[in-house]
C-alpha cells in the first residue's frame, strides 16, 4: 500500500487542532509507506498548514505538495500529485484538492475520507462545530462523495476522547506544540479532553478490526445551518464507519507511541 495524505495540519498554530499531526504520526509509526502529503486550507489558512506540513514532512522524510488556499481552488502541485498517484488516498481536510483531481480523471485504489455528520444539530461556529471538512467546501464534497470507499463521519469520532496523558511518548517537539490544544480541547468538546478526529481515519487504515462499518449510499443534505450534514441510504458502495472500540483504539495508539 502506497499512501498519499491530503491534510490541513495545524500543529502548534494558535487555537488550532492537532489531530492531523497525530494521524500522520500514527501512520509513520505503523510503517505505512506515505509517498507524499498534499495540503489544503481548513484548520488554518493554506500557507500556514503548508508550512506545518513541510515541518512534519522534513521530520519524517515525506515530500509535501502545496494545494488549495480556499474553496474551488483549481490547479496546484497537490492536484498534480493526486492525479499521478495510483495507490490509496486518505483525505483529512476539506475536499477541494480531491475534487479537482477527480475532475482531472484521477483514480485511486482506495479513497478514505474523514468528514460528514448525520446530526441535525446546527453548525454554529465557533460556538458549536459539528463538522468542518465538508462544510468548508460543499461543492467539492458533492463531487467526491460518489467516489468514497471508506467514510469516517464525525459521530464515530466523538466516541473517542484523549487527554494529555494520551500524548505521553510523543517526541518532545510534538508534545510541546500540543500543549495549547490540550488546554483548549475541553472548551470545544465540553468533556475533560479532546477528540482526536483524524487519528481515527489513520487507524482505520492501520487496524480496521477496531471499527465496525456498514455499506451505504452517502448523499449530501447540506443546508445553511447544517453545511456538513449527510444522509445515509441503503444500497451504496461506501463503507461507512459506524462504531469504534475506543479502548482498543487507545491501546493501539499507545502501542505506536511505545
Domain ranges of the chain: 3-257
**pLDDT tens-digit series, residues 16-72:** 999 999 999 999 999 999 999 999 999 999 999 999 999 999 999 999 999 999 999
All residues at 6 or more sequence positions from 82 whose CB lies less than 8 Å from its CB, including other chains: 4, 6, 38, 89, 97, 98, 100, 101, 106
Q: Are 60 and 112 in contact (CB under 8 A)?
A: no
| Distance separating alpha carbons of residues 256 and 121, to the nearest angstrom | 35
Dihedral sign of CA atoms 179, 183, 188, 189 in order: positive
Interior CA angle at 31 toward 29 and 36, to 5°? 95
**pLDDT tens-digit series, residues 129-144:** 789 999 999 999 999 9
- Model confidence at 127: pLDDT above 60: no
Dihedral sign of CA atoms 43, 195, 1, 258 in order: positive
pLDDT band at residue 126 using 50, 70 and 90 as cut-offs: low
Q: What is the mean pLDDT of residues 172-194?
A: 90
Three-state secondary-structure class, residue 141 = helix
pLDDT band at residue 74 using 50, 70 and 90 as cut-offs: confident
| Distance separating alpha carbons of residues 200 and 54, to the nearest angstrom | 23
pLDDT band at residue 185 using 50, 70 and 90 as cut-offs: confident
Q: Are 204 and 148 in contact (CB under 8 A)?
A: no
**What is the CATH architecture assignment of 3-257?**
Alpha-Beta Complex (3.90)
C-alpha cell at 38: 498534499
pLDDT at 128: 63
User: pTM for the full model?
Assistant: 0.96
Work out the mean pLDDT of the chain and round it to a whole number. 95
What is the rounded (10 degree) CA torsion for 115, 120, 123, 129?
A: -60
Closest CA to 39 of 8, 81, 13: 8
Q: Are 44 and 10 in contact (CB under 8 A)?
A: yes
Amino acid at each position: 500500500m502506497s499512501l498519499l495524505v491530503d491534510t490541513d495540519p495545524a500543529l502548534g498554530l494558535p487555537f488550532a487542532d492537532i489531530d492531523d499531526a497525530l494521524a500522520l504520526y500514527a501512520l509513520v509509526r505503523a510503517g505505512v509507506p506515505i509517498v507524499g502529503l498534499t495540503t489544503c486550507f481548513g484548520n488554518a489558512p493554506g500557507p500556514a498548514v503548508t508550512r506545518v506540513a513541510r515541518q512534519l514532512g522534513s521530520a519524517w522524510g515525506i515530500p509535501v505538495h502545496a494545494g488549495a488556499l480556499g474553496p474551488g481552488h483549481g490547479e496546484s502541485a497537490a492536484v498534480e500529485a493526486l492525479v499521478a498517484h495510483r495507490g490509496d488516498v486518505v483525505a483529512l481536510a476539506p475536499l477541494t484538492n480531491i475534487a479537482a483531481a477527480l475532475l482531472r480523471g484521477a483514480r485511486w485504489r482506495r479513497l478514505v475520507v474523514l468528514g460528514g455528520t448525520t446530526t441535525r444539530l446546527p453548525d454554529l461556529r465557533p460556538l458549536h462545530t459539528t463538522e468542518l471538512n465538508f462544510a468548508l467546501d460543499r461543492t467539492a464534497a458533492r463531487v467526491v462523495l460518489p467516489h468514497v470507499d471508506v467514510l469516517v463521519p464525525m459521530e464515530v469520532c466523538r466516541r473517542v476522547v484523549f487527554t494529555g496523558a494520551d500524548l505521553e511518548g510523543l517526541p518532545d517537539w510534538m508534545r510541546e506544540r500540543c500543549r495549547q490544544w490540550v488546554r483548549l480541547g475541553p472548551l470545544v468538546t465540553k468533556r475533560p479532553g479532546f477528540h482526536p478526529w483524524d487519528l481515527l481515519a489513520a487507524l482505520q487504515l492501520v487496524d480496521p478490526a477496531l471499527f465496525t462499518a456498514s455499506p451505504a449510499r452517502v448523499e449530501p443534505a447540506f443546508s445553511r445551518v447544517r453545511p456538513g450534514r449527510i444522509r445515509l441510504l441503503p444500497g451504496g458502495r461506501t463503507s461507512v464507519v459506524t462504531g469504534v472500540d475506543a479502548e482498543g483504539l487507545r491501546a493501539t495508539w499507545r502501542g505506536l507511541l511505545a
